């Protein structure tokens, strides 16, 4: 098992793949092989999502795009091992761990600490009865981080996402959508997640804060070597920061390649349609 990345990771000789406390850019953070997610049984089986191959390296951003219902969220949930009632086959390697076959206990440790989800509406996933300070303390405690380390990590993470520490005294309903999204990102940063999955992270936000949240994800990817999987129905959103683009439709990958290639010369008609729907790119 790969040791957890620590603040003194650069002095820890056992911290494979990490230089100066950061993952090496050439290291695979997440590798998916032959993933299929189905629902139903007998004659009534329906494919929800499939992904033949995907490799997300530390510090890279892979985007998954496609219209609503194409299987994007299902794919992210599979990466978190959140597939109750669904039939999952294939492999999803998070470091040395196969998420598809790992026991729930292992998955509980990985979620948050190694792989984090930024959802479309972070406010709804934050416990409304707790102040933000209590929320982040509990999340850190669940992963064994206590004492002075809690304060240090919280302060550093809030500074990273440019949130005022005074917000820790507030309840989730007392902050804006943009602040909630920054706070969700701060929790992933505080836990030092290697992989961040962002599911339509800006679609519930005001236009004015959408770009800021995307820029923030992009900066953390570069500075912390986070492997970012960005899901969106909007090709314009992902075109700004993706290195690699996967286009999904009806649960199938219709195109996958370097972002520059996919945007300049889409090989699938469907990608062309998505591009044509983007005013600034479709000319
Ligand atoms: N737990 C589930 N049981 C049955 N069908 C599901 C389940 N989760 C998602 N689906 C279906 O899978 C398809 C893909 O959904 P989803 O992954 O949410 O798409 P997207 O995120 O691209 O909009 C949809 O047809 C949706 O209704
Ligand atoms: Mg979705």
pLDDT tens by residue, 17-28: 444 445 555 689
pLDDT of residue 34: 98
∠86-226-190 over CA atoms, to 5°?
A: 90
Residue 12 — very low, low, confident or very high, per pLDDT cuts 50/70/90? very low
CA 130 to CA 143: how far, in whole Å?
A: 18
pLDDT at 91: 98
pLDDT score, position 281: 55
CATH match for 9-276 among 3.30.70.920, 3.20.20.140, 3.40.50.300, 2.40.110.10: 3.40.50.300
12, 3 Cβ separation under 8 angstroms: yes
Q: How confident is the model at residue 13, as a pLDDT? A: 38
The whole-model pTM stands at 0.89
Q: Please tell me if the CB atom of residue 23 comes closer than 6 angstroms to any atom of ligand 1.
A: no
The closest-lying atom of ligand 1 relative to the alpha carbon of residue 77 is: 17
| Mean pLDDT along residues 42-60 | 95
Residue 264 exposed, middle or buried by CB count within 10 Å (0-12, 13-18, 19+): exposed
Share of the chain above pLDDT 90, in %: 77
- DSSP label at 5? P
- pLDDT tops 60 at residue 11: no
Whether ligand 1 lies within 6 angstroms of the CB of 5 is answered as no
Q: Tell me if 37 CB under 6 Å of ligand 1.
A: no
- Residue nearest to ligand 1 atom 9, measured at CA: 74
Alpha carbon of 87 to ligand 2 centroid (Å):
18
């Amino acid at each position: 098992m790969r040791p957890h990345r620590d603040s003194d990771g650069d002095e820890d000789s056992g911290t494979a793949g990490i230089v100066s406390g950061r993952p090496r850019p050439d290291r695979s953070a997440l590798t998916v092989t032959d993933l299929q997610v189905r629902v139903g049984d007998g004659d009534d089986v329906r494919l929800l999502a499939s992904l033949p191959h995907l490799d997300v390296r530390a510090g890279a951003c892979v985007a998954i795009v496609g219209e609503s219902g194409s299987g994007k969220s299902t794919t992210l949930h599979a990466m978190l091992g959140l597939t109750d009632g669904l039939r999952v086959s294939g492999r999803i390697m998070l470091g040395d761990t196969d998420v598809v076959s790992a026991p729930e206990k292992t998955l509980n440790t990985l979620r948050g600490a190694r792989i984090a989800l930024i959802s479309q509406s972070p406010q709804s996933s934050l416990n409304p009865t707790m102040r933000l300070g209590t929320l982040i303390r509990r999340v850190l405690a669940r992963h064994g981080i206590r004492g002075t380390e809690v304060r240090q990590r919280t302060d550093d993470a809030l500074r990273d996402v440019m949130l005022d520490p005074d917000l820790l005294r507030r309840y989730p309903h007392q902050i804006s959508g943009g602040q909630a999204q920054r706070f969700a990102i701060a929790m992933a940063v505080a836990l030092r997640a290697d992989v961040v999955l962002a599911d339509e992270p800006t679609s519930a936000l005001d236009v004015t804060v959408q770009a800021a949240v995307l820029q923030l994800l992009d900066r953390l990817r570069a500075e912390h070597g986070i492997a970012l999987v960005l899901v969106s129905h909007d090709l314009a959103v992902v075109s700004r920061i993706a290195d690699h683009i996967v286009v999904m439709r009806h649960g199938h990958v219709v195109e996958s390649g370097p972002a520059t290639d996919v945007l300049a010369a889409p090989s699938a008609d469907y990608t062309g349609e998505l591009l044509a729907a983007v005013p600034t790119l479709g000319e």
